[in-house]
């Protein structure tokens, strides 16, 4: 199943058509995307509707605005230095534990929305990332049970303002949480459509030039290990997002460094999940 936020309403994306879940279910499924994610009965009803097949009432995906499929998560976890090649380009050792930080939920934006570069900043950077959406779960969830508490995967961009990020020692959450600094989407893709999350190709282009190109098997800590570690501290809640880290190729590691400018277009593509396309604009 591919779950989308279409014009602010919950929907299914099937063969290039978007089907409104409330209408297709005769009112049984909420039109609110967050309600579907938060209420397991609504999510399960959407899965059942998708399995049964929806054939009428769809509109071309190009005729709707796709918003963030998780518009208001409680928490957005990020993972630093989780790709071997990215750790190497950063001059860092492989961490012994996942390096978790948070992006504030107000940074969430849609898959085709503009990224606003804040006034006075000059070191805005890209970070293409595989993300996953959690379902409710306990604390101290073992890795072998992690997939029972994941709703699906999606593309994400961890836009990072490096001056703020590295100010006063380390301000990761602040530097990564400016408005619009977390494009996500275009859909939540359920696990049955992603046979192996550790074999996905991840690319990022800036103005058509490939700046990141890797596969997720370069991760240091895989998805189950991340779920296990996060849940050792925080109980899992439906709609929580985790961005799993970025591959090598970020702007700050280039020689000389390269950063985003107004007018730049960044495209983030993950095999089987879709593409984000975000134009950078001045605040």
* 26, 52 contact by CB (below 8 A): no
pLDDT-derived band at 173 (thresholds 50, 70, 90) equals very high
In the prediction, which pLDDT does 185 show? 98
HSE (CB half, 13 Å, CA atoms) of 249?
A: 20
In the prediction, which pLDDT does 80 show? 95
Q: Are residues 131 and 228 in the same domain?
A: yes
Q: Where is the domain boundary, 28, 49, 67?
A: 67
pLDDT in tens, 126-141: 999 999 999 999 999 9
Q: Are residues 148 and 39 in the same domain?
A: no
Span 56-60, average pLDDT? 95
Q: Are residues 63 and 96 in the same domain?
A: no
Span 93-105, average pLDDT? 96
In the prediction, which pLDDT does 72 show? 98
Q: Are residues 183 and 245 in the same domain?
A: yes
Q: Where is the domain boundary, 67, 89, 119?
A: 67
What gap in Å lies between CA 61 and CA 186, rounded to an integer? 11
Q: Are residues 104 and 179 in the same domain?
A: yes
pLDDT-derived band at 169 (thresholds 50, 70, 90) equals confident
Q: Are residues 88 and 204 in the same domain?
A: yes
Taking the alpha carbons at both ends of the chain, their separation in whole angstroms is: 36
The three-point CA angle 176-181-182 to 5° equals 100
pLDDT in tens, 1-34: 999 999 999 999 999 999 999 999 999 999 999 9
pLDDT-derived band at 107 (thresholds 50, 70, 90) equals very high
Q: Are residues 113 and 180 in the same domain?
A: yes
What gap in Å lies between CA 78 and CA 184, rounded to an integer? 13
Q: Are residues 34 and 127 in the same domain?
A: no
pLDDT-derived band at 168 (thresholds 50, 70, 90) equals confident
Domain residues for 251? 76-282
pLDDT for residue 195 is more than 90: no
Domains contained in the chain, number? 2
Could you please report the per-residue DSSP string of 111-150?
A: TTSPEEEPTT---EE--EEEEEEEPP--SS--GGGGGGGE
In the prediction, which pLDDT does 83 show? 97
What gap in Å lies between CA 18 and CA 15, rounded to an integer? 8
What gap in Å lies between CA 116 and CA 137, rounded to an integer? 34
For residue 213, give the DSSP letter: E
Q: Are residues 121 and 252 in the same domain?
A: yes
pLDDT for residue 56 is more than 90: no
Instruction: Supply φ then ψ for residue 228, to 5 degrees.
Output: -60, -45
pLDDT for residue 249 is more than 80: yes
Query: Residues with Cβ < 8 Å from 97, sequence gap 6 or more?
Result: 229
Q: Are residues 63 and 91 in the same domain?
A: no
Q: Are residues 55 and 112 in the same domain?
A: no
- Residues composing the chain: 283
Span 44-58, average pLDDT? 94
In the prediction, which pLDDT does 167 show? 87
Q: If you average pLDDT over every residue of the chain, what do you get? A: 96
In the prediction, which pLDDT does 192 show? 97
Q: What 3-state class would DSSP assign to 282?
A: strand
Which sign does the torsion angle of CA 162, 167, 173, 179 carry?
Answer: negative
Domain CATH for 188: 3.90.850.10
Q: Are residues 245 and 164 in the same domain?
A: yes
Q: Where is the domain boundary, 43, 67, 91?
A: 67
What gap in Å lies between CA 28 and CA 170, rounded to an integer? 47
pLDDT in tens, 256-275: 999 999 999 999 999 999 99
């Amino acid at each position: 199943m591919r779950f989308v936020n279409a014009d602010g309403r919950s929907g299914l994306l099937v063969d290039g058509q978007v089907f409104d879940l409330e209408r297709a279910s005769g009112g049984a499924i909420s039109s609110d995307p967050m309600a579907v994610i938060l209420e397991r009965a609504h999510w399960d009803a959407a899965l059942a509707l998708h399995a049964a097949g929806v054939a009428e009432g769809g509109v071309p995906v190009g005729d709707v605005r796709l918003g963030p499929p998780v518009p208001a998560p409680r928490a957005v976890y990020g993972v630093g230095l989780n790709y071997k090649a990215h750790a190497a380009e950063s001059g860092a050792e492989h961490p012994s534990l996942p390096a978790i930080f948070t992006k504030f939920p107000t940074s969430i934006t849609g898959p085709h929305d503009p990224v606003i570069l804040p006034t006075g900043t000059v070191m805005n950077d890209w970070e293409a990332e595989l993300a996953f959406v959690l379902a409710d779960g306990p604390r101290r969830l073992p890795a072998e049970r992690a997939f029972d508490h994941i709703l699906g995967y999606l593309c994400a961009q961890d836009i990072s303002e490096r001056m703020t990020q590295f100010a006063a020692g380390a301000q990761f959450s602040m530097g990564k949480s400016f408005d619009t600094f977390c494009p996500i989407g275009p859909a939540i893709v359920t696990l049955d459509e992603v046979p192996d999350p550790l074999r996905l190709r991840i690319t990022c282009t800036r103005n058509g030039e490939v700046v990141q190109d890797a596969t997720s098997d370069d991760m240091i800590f895989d998805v189950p290990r991340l779920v296990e570690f996060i849940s050792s501290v925080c109980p899992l809640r439906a709609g929580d997002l985790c961005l799993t880290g970025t591959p090598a190729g970020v702007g700050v590691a280039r020689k000389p460094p390269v950063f985003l400018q107004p007018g730049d277009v960044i495209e983030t593509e993950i095999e089987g999940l879709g593409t984000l396309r975000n134009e950078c604009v001045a605040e």
